[in-house]
Structure 1
Amino acid sequence: MSFSFFKALRPKTPQEVAKSIKESLVALDTKTVSEVKALEKSCETFGTLSHSEDCLLEVHSQLYCLSLGFLSEALEEVEKNFATMRTMLSGDGESEPNLDQVSQLVDEICKEDVLTLLIHKLPILGWEARKDLVHCWSILLKHKVESNSCCVEYIEQHAELLDFLVVCYDNKDIALSCGIMLRECIKFPSLARYILESASFVLFFKFVELPNFDVASDAFSTFKDLLTKHVNVVSEFLTAHYDEFFDLYERLLTSPNYVTRRQSLKLLSDFLLESPNSQIMKRYILEVRYLKVMMTLLRDSSKNIQISAFHIFKVFVANPHKPREVKLILAKNQEKLLELLHNLSPGKGSEDEQFEEEKEFIIKEIERLSC
C-alpha cells in the first residue's frame, strides 16, 4: 500500500517556462487593468445610486486597495517565473544547467516575443524580479542556438528596445538595471553601432550630468563603453558625425561639474589616441577652439585635470603641421603657457621621467614660436 500523499511536481519544459513568463508579464496589464476597470464601473454605478460622499470615498478606498492586491499577485507570479528562468539558464547551485534546455528556452523566448515584454515591463517589475532579469540577460545574449545568437538577432530586428533601455536612465528606480543590460548589449558591435547612430545617443550627454551621482556614474560607464569597446565602429561613427559629436563633447569638457570634466577628459584621451581614430585626432588638433579648451583645462584647479589636459595639449603642440591659427594662439599665450608648464608636475610615480621628457620637448616647441 502506498502512503504517498504528495506527488512530485513535474519540472516545466523550456516551452512551458517561456509561456509562463509571457503570460505573467501580459497579466501585469490585462489582469490587473481589467479587474480595476470592473471595480471602477461598479463604483460609478454605486455613485449614481448614492448621494453620500463618505460612501463614495469608502468605495474608492476599497478600489485602490484591491487594485494594489491584483498588481501584487501579478508581480509575485512574474517573480516566480523569473526565478525558474534563472535556474534553467544558470543552474541551481548544485548542478550545471542543461545546455539543450537552455537552447530551447532561448529559442522560445525569441519566438514568442518575450524579449520585448522583458524590456517594456521593466519599470513595473519588483526588485527581486529585476535582479533575476539582469542576471539572465547576459546569458540570453551570449547563448547561441545552432551557432546563431538568437537574442542579439532579435534585438537587431527590434532595435527600438535599445532606445527604450537608454531612455530608462531618466527613471532612477530602474536606471542601474537598464545600464547593466545596455552594457551587455554594447558588447556586440551591431548593437553598439545602432545606439551610436540612434537619436537616443545624444541623451547620454544629459544623463552623465544627472543630479543623482549613482545614475550619472552608471550612464558614464555606458557612454565610455560605447566609445571604446569597438574601435572600428567608433571610428566610422566619429568620421560621419564629427561636428555634432565634438560640439556636444565640448560641453562636457567645460562643465562646471568637476567629475564630468575629469571623466570626459580622460575618455577623450582614451578614444582619440586609438590608432583607428588617428584621422579623427589629426582633424581635432587642427582646430583652434579645441586647443583653447585644453589651454583652459591646463589652468584648472585640479592637478589631475591639468595632467590629463597636458596629454592632449601636447599633441596640438607636437603636430609638425600646425595651422597658422594654432601657431598664433600658442605664440600669443607663450609666456603664460611656459609658466604653467614649468610648474606642472605629476607628483611621485613611475611615469615621472617620461612626463618630464615630454614636458621639456613641449616647452622647447613653444619657445620656438613667435607672433
Structure 2
Amino acid sequence: MSFSFFKVSRPKTPQEVVKSIKESLMALDTKTVVEVKALEKALEEVEKNFVTMRTMLSGDGESEPNLDQVSQLVEEICKEEVLTLVIHKLPILGWEARKDLVHCWSILLKQKVDSNDCCVEYIEQHFELLDILVVYYDNKEIALSSGIMLRECIKFPNLAKYILESASFALFFKFVELPNFDVSSDAFSTFKDLLIKHGNVVAEFLTANYDEFFDQYESLLTSPNYVTRRQSIKLLSDFLLESPNAQIMKRYILEVRYLKVMMTLLTDSSKNIQLSAFHIFKIFVANPNKPRDVKIILGKNQGKLLGLLHNLSPGKGSEDEQFEEEKEFIIKEIERISV
C-alpha cells in the first residue's frame, strides 16, 4: 500500500509577500498585458496577494498579527516603493482588491518601524501621490476608495498641509458639486477633514491664501445646489469659530460682501441653512468695531432683518435658551444702528 502526502506549503515571509505584490502589480502594466486572459490572471494574482497582506497586517480572525512580521512587511513595502505602485494601479484593480487595499492602507500608515512612521515618511518624499489620490475623484469607479485613503493621510498634519497648499486643493470646489451624490458627499467629507483636523495648519493656510480661498468658498455658499449650501455654511461656522482662526474671523466680519452672503442665507427656504447662517451673521452684528459700510448695509435692511430674526427659531432642543438670548442681543444691536 502506498501513501501520498500533500506537501504543506510554508507561509511566505514578509519579504516574499512584498515581492509577490510588486510583481503582480507590475504585471498589470498595459504594455506587457497583451491578452484579456493575461490581465485577468494578473488581477487574480494581485487580489490573492492583497488577501495575504491583509492577513499579515490584521490577523486571520483566529490569531493576532505577528508584530515583527508586520514591521518587516511595512519596511519592505516602503523599500520596494509598493505604495507608489498601488496608487498608480488603483484604477485597474478589481473591487475586492480595492477593498483589501483600503483596509490595509490605514494600518500601514499607522505602523512605526524603529520609531519612524515609515509609510507616512515615504509619502512625504513622494507628495505627488496625494495629488493623484485627489484627482481620482474624477473617476467615479475609484473615487470612494481614493477618498478613504486620502482621509487616512489627512490624519497626519504634514500630509494635510501639503494637500491644502497644493494646486490640487482647488479641485475640491469642483468635486463637492459633482453630479454623482455619493462621490460629491465623499469629496465633501475629505474637504471638511482638511479644514478642521489640524487647526494651526489650517489657520496658517487661510492666512496665506485668504482672498483666493474665500472667493472660491463664496461660490459654494451661493450654489444653486441645496446640499452644497447646507454643508458649506455649516462647515464655515465649524472652522471659522475655531480658536486658531480667530484672526481670520476678525478679517472676515469686516467684509460687506460676506455679510451680504450671510443675509441672503438668512432668507433661505431651509431652516438649517438659516440657523447656520445666523451663527456667523451674529458675529458681524456683535462686532463692536463694525466698519461704516457694514453699518450702512445693516441699517438699510433693518426692518427686513428684524422680521427675519423674530421668526427664526431653532425648534425643540437644549440650545433654545442660549439661542433666544443671542437672538435678543442681536435684535437689540440692529435696532440701535442708525446710519
Partner of 1:60: none
Post-superposition shift, 1:70?
1.2
Could you tell me which residue of structure 2 aligns to residue 167 of structure 1? Answer: 135
Q: TM-score, normalised by structure 2?
A: 0.99
2:305 to 337, 343, 352: 337
Matched with 1:10 is: 10
1:23 aligns with 2:23: yes
- The answer to whether the 8 Å contact 2:27/2:33 transfers is no
2:31 aligns to what?
33
2:274 corresponds to 1:276: no
* Structure 1 stretches lacking a partner, 5+ long: 37-66
Alignment of 1:177-326 (within 5 A): 177-326=145-294
Counterparts of 2:236 and 2:2, CA distance in 1:
73
Residue type of the partner of 1:218?
D
Paired residue for 2:54, among 86, 100, 117? 86
CA distance in 2, matches of 1:343, 1:207: 35
TM-score (norm: length of structure 1): 0.90
Shift of 1:69: 1.0
Question: Deviation at 1:205?
Answer: 0.3
In the aligned structure 2, how far is the partner of 1:171 from the partner of 1:35? Answer: 22
| C-alpha distance in structure 2 between counterparts of 1:342 and 1:355, whole Å | 12
Question: Which runs of 5 or more residues in structure 2 are unaligned?
Answer: none
Residue in 2 that maps onto 1:115: 83
Partner of 2:92: 124
Aligned length, in residue pairs: 339
Q: Please list, as runs of the form range in 1=range in 2, the aligned pairs for 1:346-357 lying within 5 A after superposition.
A: 346-357=314-325
1:57 aligns with none
Taking the aligned partners of 1:202 and 1:244, their CA distance within structure 2 comes to: 10
Residues in 1 aligned to 2:62 and 2:157: alpha-carbon distance in whole angstroms: 35
Structure 1 letter corresponding to 2:31: V
Q: Which of the pair has more CA radius of gyration?
A: 1
1:83 CA drift (Å): 0.5
Q: Distance in 1 between matches of 2:151 and 2:173?
A: 17
* RMSD of aligned Cα (Å): 1.0
- Structure 1's consecutive aligned runs of 4 or more residues displaced over 6 angstroms after TM superposition are none
Task: Find the aligned partners of 1:106 and 1:348 in 2 and give their Cα distance.
Answer: 51
**2: CA distance between counterparts of 1:90 and 1:367?**
63
Amino acid at match of 2:304: K
Check the 8 A contact 2:314/2:320 in 1, yes or no: yes
Instruction: Report how far residue 242 of structure 1 moved.
Output: 0.3
1:286-309 deviation per Cα after TM superposition (whole angstroms, max 9, x unaligned):
000000000000000111111110
Structure with greater proportional helix content: 1
**Partner SS state of residue 91, structure 2:** helix
In the alignment, the residues of structure 2 paired with residue 34 and residue 347 of structure 1 have an alpha-carbon distance, to the nearest angstrom, of 63
